[in-house]
Structure 1
């Protein structure tokens, strides 16, 4: 998809807002929401966001001394530019007036920001291609879905970091791949599966995992950049769909809750030559 294709799609589908995002070092999508009338300019010139978005921890504190030259990846708190990639354009099925597009992070001068997640992965793919190799990855995502009892929105709870919401389980757990457990949460998981498929994700299975409130989605294999974008899109989609129904989707390694199970995100990977032969330690190609 090219820039004009994106503009035509937005006009034809009467899209009102476009979420221009990038993947931060923690795998969180950050960016700005622009209106349809601003999209042409954004595709041509990019949009500016504060560079400190690249330097924050998950509590949103800036963890590098941005006003000091030594030890800081970037100096000061100047803007960087998000350059939207038309090929990443996706409609949001749970917000039909909105769309999502990923951007490459550049300096004001137009140079790629070397430690931006997308740039790192692009360099790795180029390095493989220089060796006449390519990689294929398959994604398995484990996560938990809780029912929110108290969203913790009282002013006194608006600390940094904020007070976590109070939740309860959606399943009791310890019934791995049990049909009746799946049936209990089918409606909830169907919403997520359908949303993922409508965004072009090739979902292969939806599974009840071992722990309380724990589930797994698996996807068809693809190129590293394709799978990486799908991973962050899926995580965002699951969180946003759940939030609309009074639920909380958590992808942290292990929630700080009694009896919560640990989780993993699994990337099954293979490396191929241009002739279609798989690389192995025996062939000496890896």
Structure 2
């Protein structure tokens, strides 16, 4: 009799997720995918990932995937700020002592095919210790626990995102070895130029300059299943705002690729 894998042994999937996982192999083979990006979020909300070949990914759907504890020892500049080789790993957590691997469990109902990356799938993961205990710094784990607590109080949490960002034309990526920096020390910023003229807010006459760029972004986000609501330019040069329709936090968390 086949020994249960890590996911089954620790009862980490819902029935819906179990059914979704059964369909993934057929989808991956039918679409001839070469790589599946398995992604998780560190305590800063930064998305980390490993790309798996299909057969390795199918194994991860049973036994999950070993990942380094390292991504939870860094600050936002990737400098190590916690020493894992002291008792408790500098975090007063015995399971963090010695920088043992964590276990990333793919979440089947978050699987997407990336429309902008050839033959590439994407799936989010939840992080656990080797004993099946939830990694307490997991952003998705904190969200799940918060939603449980809200439900216990008879409350519901609804999210509507307003994402503001800047778009610029790349002139020089500044990738010479002298410019790229090291861990904890960012490299030289890329040299860029503007994609539109002037400081104006919601200016219709700017649309001809930036319409094709925003259309490509909107098409890809919609194809990913993101409930995109509106697209507009803001006050700064190259400053834009995308708004996302109201939905549950879990639905937004499934779209971590943005």
Q: How does 1:43-192 map to 2 (within 5 A)?
A: 43-69=61-87, 71-72=90-91, 74-160=96-182, 161-192=186-217
Change (3 A) 1:69 1:182: farther
Map of 1:16-31 to 2, 5 A cutoff? 16-31=34-49
Matches of 1:82 and 1:128, distance apart in 2 = 26
Distance 1:115 1:27 in 2: 10
Matches of 1:179 and 1:229, distance apart in 2: 33
Equivalent in the alignment of 2:230: 205
Q: Distance in 1 between matches of 2:121 and 2:205?
A: 36
C-alpha distance in 1, partners of 2:159/2:63?
33
* Matched position secondary structure for 2:161: strand
1:176 match: secondary structure: coil
Q: Residues 225-236 of structure 1: matches in 2 within 5 Å?
A: 225-230=250-255, 232-234=256-258
Larger % of strand: which?
A: 1
**Whole-angstrom CA distance in 1 between matches of 2:51 and 2:118:** 15
8 A Cα contact 1:202 1:220, kept in partner = yes
* TM-score using structure 1 length: 0.78
Partner of 1:40: 58
Structure 1 unaligned regions, length at least 5: 235-286
Q: Which runs of 5+ in 2 are unaligned?
A: 1-16
Distance in 2 between residues matched to 1:33 and 1:7, nearest whole Å: 16
In structure 2, distance between residues paired with 1:195 and 1:97 = 15
Q: Distance in 2 between matches of 1:46 and 1:115?
A: 18
**1:145-186 deviations in whole A, cap 9, x for unaligned?**
111111111111132222211112222342111111122111
* 2: CA distance, partners of 1:195 / 1:148: 21
- TM-score, with length taken from structure 2: 0.86
* 1:55 CA drift (Å): 2.2
C-alpha separation in 2, matches of 1:118 and 1:173: 40
Moved more, 119-128 or 146-155: 146-155
The answer to whether 1:222 aligns with 2:247 is yes
Matched position secondary structure for 1:4: helix
Count matched residues.
233
- Output the aligned Cα RMSD: 1.5
